[in-house]
Amino acid sequence: MPSFLSRPPRRIVVKLGTGVITSGIGQLNEPRLAALAAQITALRAQGSEVIVVSSGAVGLGMGRLKLERKPKIVSKKQACAAVGQSLLMQTWQRAFDPHGLTVAQVLLTHEDLRVRDRHLGVKETLRELVAYGTIPVINENDTVSAAEIKVGDNDTLSAMVAGLVEADYLVILSTAPGLIDMKGTGKIVPVVEKITPAIEAMAGGTTSETATGGMITKITAAKLATRSGCGVFIASGAEPDILPRLFSGRGPGTFFVPSGLPLESRKLWLAYFQRPHGTIHVNTCAVPVLCEQGRSLLAVGVTGASGTFAAGEVVNIAGPDGKVIARGESAFSSEQIPVLAGRKSDQVRALHPSRKHLEVVHRNDLVLL
Ligand code: GLU
């Protein structure tokens, strides 16, 4: 654990898994929610803004509809979410009532985070909700989210939200006590400085009937959030007083150290909120040009394109081994790229005489992954 903190964090996103707020299938754990509401209120009293990401809609809906297994059919799952989401919000409001706080339901789809205008709109609304003194309680809008517009799990959603609101900390509370070093000490790893393949190998999925992610999605979320300069805790929501304990460095849980400087928000948007429409493939020489020299991608380094994309759409950039090294907005379409691939700038100019910029992906529109 980090020996913390000289002043209270400015902004914290707290994500609660289905297993934290329910016991059994779809039975609310009201004492747990009450305890967490009290801890969140205490964080606010010390001057931190808190935004909650709460799972549980599907699980609570299953409970109310007396289903023992999560339905496989999407529309049935969406129906469970519709039933459960209102129960979830009622419960959160009841939990915050004794503290005189009002909760605000915010339901998001991947589109709301991906489309830049909507993304900025969500950010503004969250800012207003916090300014009104409410506690935003966010969930994915499961009832209307078809697979292709879904974030899919609330760990990832919470990391996206943490990036969006520029949170200093993301706390992911679930039934897992932290990241466990199964093959080594068998104990919780207290601090992760860098998410290496060895760290990723420690993570498994979930076997719970109502939950979604497991440790794998938590590590992915930690990767996203630390990359945007946010410290991440993974800890058990069943531990008493877990939030103040984490923030005073007394654990138990795993702390992921934020990496480097925060990406500025446009790059963050490119990197994490976009789904790439295709891939631009580059040659061996282009890799260090992008990764080490921090320059734009020129046609001469390009070997081809896959997928179908228009100029201005977001694409992955992959090295000769197929590994995705960057993401960016392509200035050319997937049809134009094969014609340009491998050509020098004067040849590109001859093909596109009216263009001011000849880069295939300009540095300002590119982020390394
Ligand atoms: N949105 C889902 C729900 O409220 C949860 C997804 C998740 O836990 O990752 O049930």
pLDDT digits (tens, 9 = 90+) for 248-275: 877 799 999 888 766 777 787 787 777 8
Mean pLDDT on 155-173: 95
What pLDDT does 26 receive?
A: 83
Select from 80, 150, 154 the residue to mutate for testing ligand 1; criterion: most ligand atoms less than 8 Å from CB.
154
Q: From the CA of 189, how far away is ligand 1's center (Å)?
A: 26
What pLDDT does 41 receive?
A: 97
Q: Which two tokens stand for residue 342?
A: 């491998």
Whether residue 2 is predicted with pLDDT greater than 60 in this model: the reply is no
pLDDT band at 185 (very low <50, low <70, confident <90, very high): confident
Q: From the CA of 360, how far away is ligand 1's center (Å)?
A: 39
Architecture of the 276-368 domain: Roll (2.30)
Whether residue 83 is predicted with pLDDT greater than 90 in this model: the reply is yes
Whether residue 235 is predicted with pLDDT greater than 60 in this model: the reply is yes
Top-confidence residue, 216 or 278: 278
Q: Per 3-state DSSP, what percentage of the chain is helix, strand, and coil (rounded to 5)?
A: 40, 20, 40
Question: pTM here?
Answer: 0.80
Round the average pLDDT of the chain to a whole number and report it.
90
pLDDT band at 5 (very low <50, low <70, confident <90, very high): low
The Cα–Cα gap between 70 and 77 comes to 7
What pLDDT does 208 receive?
A: 64
Least confident stretch, 70-74, 249-253, 344-348: 249-253
pLDDT band at 38 (very low <50, low <70, confident <90, very high): very high
Q: From the CA of 210, how far away is ligand 1's center (Å)?
A: 8
Mean pLDDT on 311-332: 94
The domain defined by 11-267 folds into Carbamate kinase (3.40.1160)
pLDDT digits (tens, 9 = 90+) for 193-229: 888 888 888 886 555 666 666 888 999 999 999 988 8
Closest ligand 1 atom number to CA of residue 142: 1
Top-confidence residue, 347 or 149: 347
What pLDDT does 184 receive?
A: 76
Whether residue 65 is predicted with pLDDT greater than 90 in this model: the reply is yes
Positive/negative CA dihedral, 337, 339, 341, 345? negative
Question: CB–CB of 40/135 below 8 Å?
Answer: yes
What pLDDT does 3 receive?
A: 44
Select from 110, 140, 143, 206 the residue to mutate for testing ligand 1; criterion: most ligand atoms less than 8 Å from CB.
140
What pLDDT does 213 receive?
A: 65
What pLDDT does 205 receive?
A: 58
- As for ligand 1, residues whose beta carbon falls within 6 Å of it are 17-18, 55-59, 139-140, 142, 153-154, 211-213
Order of strands across the sheet that contains 278-282: 302-307, 278-282, 314-318, 324-329, 366-368
pLDDT band at 1 (very low <50, low <70, confident <90, very high): very low
Top-confidence residue, 83 or 182: 83
Closest ligand 1 atom number to CA of residue 58: 10
What pLDDT does 251 receive?
A: 79
Q: From the CA of 303, how far away is ligand 1's center (Å)?
A: 41
Mean pLDDT on 62-72: 92
Select from 139, 149, 206, 210 the residue to mutate for testing ligand 1; criterion: most ligand atoms less than 8 Å from CB.
139
What's the distance, CA 302 to chain centroid? 30
Closest ligand 1 atom number to CA of residue 156: 9
Closest ligand 1 atom number to CA of residue 61: 10
Closest ligand 1 atom number to CA of residue 217: 9
DSSP one-letter code for 223: H
Positive/negative CA dihedral, 44, 47, 49, 54? negative
Ordered by start, the domain boundaries in the chain are 11-267, 276-368
